[in-house]
Structure 1
Amino acid sequence: MQDFQNGTIGWTLIRGPFVEVVRMHRRIITPSGVALGGWAELELRQDGHYTFRGHLHDSGFLDYQFQVRASIATNAGMALVVQKSGTVEGTESGLSPRRDFDWDERDHSKLIQLEWPTLQFGTLQIAKAYEYSGVVGGLESVVKDVVEFLVVNVALGPQAAIIHFIGKELGAITKANVVGVGGIPALLATAGASFLLSPTLAIPVFVGTLAATNALVKHRPMSVEEYAFANLVFKGTLPPRERIILTNLTGLGG
């Protein structure tokens, strides 16, 4: 095994060379006049373990609340997204402001193991959101901000299929009281793209080849007969019928 700046490469007589760890590091830079900066790093391991760590520092007068997001997009149409929120204080908070915020979040994702052949060559993007006075907004604004981030920072070309949320923070996004496109709470649209959200997934969706809009999206509950027919395939594993919504949305290559 040999450690390098951006990861670890191993070699065995049987396997030959292989990538064991991928470590991607980025500086966090804000515009002139904003006394906030630092770095973030995402480390992925072949066994599915990952670490999202970073550091933010407030060198000025104002307090800031922030969100740092990291995403790894692959050319196979999949991306991982993780987020960390926190607060740093400036001189306005008194003689001993808490100017530094450090985090080191560690967890495991089976998906990393399954998608390792493409993830190890993925591209890391880091984005930040921050506001003065420690007010970034409630959960609804976080959801909309996450969706905009997916459009702007995550490569969503024709092959892009699914965005997977990892970590503790993004699992709460579907608890927001947001009425989405067509009246479906989990369907949000921004910047010409629409996403169907769940606690762990964001799936780009369309109506035919068009972006979803209020006028185009149709949905209805599943009938008793349809539910019984579907259970022939799913054999009792379906959620309750009232939790299933049929739509005219398409995604995942049609």
Structure 2
Amino acid sequence: MPTPTVIGDIRLKWLALGGPSSFLGQPLTDELTTPDQVGRFNHFQGGSIYWTPSTKAHEVHGAIRDKWSSMGWERSFLGYPLTDESVTPDGVGRFNHFQGGSIYWTPAIGAHEIHGAIRDKWASMGWERSFLGYPVSDEEAGPGGSRISRFEHGSISWTSSGGAVTSMPAGEIVHQHATIATPDWLPAGGWVDIVVNKRGDFTFAGHMHNSGFPNIHFTLALVLMTPSGVGYGFARDHGLDGTVTVFGRNRDDDWTDTGNNAQISGNWAQVAQSTLHWRLAAHDTLTRGVQGLVEDLVKEAATQLGKAGIAALIALI
């Protein structure tokens, strides 16, 4: 039998990956047109490469390819791949992003798809590096027309009225949200989300916007204040362009920071009862200004409790 032909962008992708000596190996098919008539593909011994004029050529292989195949290939709601299979930042899993969502895989969990508003929520929390970890189910139908995806350490559910909401077993998570209003003259504001759990995992996410004329360097300090007077601090120190800046304008700052802190898990009984306090200010200095703002906020909150304040700075990004 003649060797199947590999041409064009698919051939370039195959050769870039190593050609016949790569994990894809030899071609099993000629280049073929996809059933939707939009794309082209070749199947290989170790996977496939799919191409469209808009998404270009990307490889899919292994358990992720098997999952995508079981869903209907490009005719599924996921559509065509936007990336090759890639290693996750934590080094444990693998993923492909598609036009309509993603498929994530780990050796222990297998491959699961995630898409839509639930995927957006998970991404905003830090993907698999968030306290939720990896998905352990596909998106499923829930009660009352809701949708739900389950993860290693919790779930995200969606409703048309409430959007996407994170949940864990009762008593194992604290989720605090604050709208950051503009104080005094400073034309900057936004919102923050702080989520911590019983294991000490935390997600610190937020958005700030400069609505004014001058460039601003802001310091935002937040504290989860426990009834015993111990405050767990989070801070963001960053610059925002104003309308005075003509080139390189960046009036918005979005961030997500994740991690684990033993102080949170070790004092969970108190952390579970914590309240959120915040302060926004402009500073000429950086680290000392941030630390000082956190310490001042802890003292202020502790005074209201009649306690001596102890500050533990958890996240400075």
Equivalent position of 1:49 in the other structure:
201
Q: For 1:114-137, what per-residue CA distance to the aligned partner results, in whole angstroms no more than 9, with x for missing partners?
A: 111121111101111126xxxx23
Equivalent position of 1:199 in the other structure:
none
1:8 aligns to 2:161 (yes or no): no
The 5-angstrom pairing of residues 102-251 of structure 1 reads: 102-130=254-282, 136-137=284-285, 139-155=287-303, 157-160=305-308, 162-168=310-316
Superposed displacement of residue 27, structure 1: 0.5
Equivalent position of 2:225 in the other structure:
73
Structure with a larger share of its residues in strand: 1
Q: For 1:191-223, what per-residue CA distance to the aligned partner results, in whole angstroms no more than 9, with x for missing partners?
A: xxxxxxxxxxxxxxxxxxxxxxxxxxxxxxxxx
Equivalent position of 1:186 in the other structure:
none
What TM-score results when the alignment is normalised by the length of structure 2?
Answer: 0.44
Structure 1: runs of 5+ lacking an equivalent: 11-17, 170-254
State the AA in 1 paired with 2:167. T
For 1:93, what is the secondary structure of its paired residue?
Answer: coil
Alignment CA distance shift 1:19-1:138 (3 Å): closer
The 8 Å contact of residues 7 and 21 in structure 1, kept in 2 or not, is answered as no
Moved more, 150-159 or 21-30: 150-159
State the AA in 2 paired with 1:148. D
Structure 2: runs of 5+ lacking an equivalent: 1-153
For 2:227, what is the secondary structure of its paired residue?
Answer: coil
Superposed displacement of residue 59, structure 1: 1.8
Matched residue count: 158
State the AA in 2 paired with 1:128. L
1:87 aligns to 2:239 (yes or no): yes
Asked which structure has the greater CA Rg, the reply is: 2
RCO higher in structure (CA 8 A, sep ≥6) = 1
Q: Percent identity?
A: 23
Q: For 1:160-216, what per-residue CA distance to the aligned partner results, in whole angstroms no more than 9, with x for missing partners?
A: 3522121246xxxxxxxxxxxxxxxxxxxxxxxxxxxxxxxxxxxxxxxxxxxxxxx
State the AA in 1 paired with 2:263. L
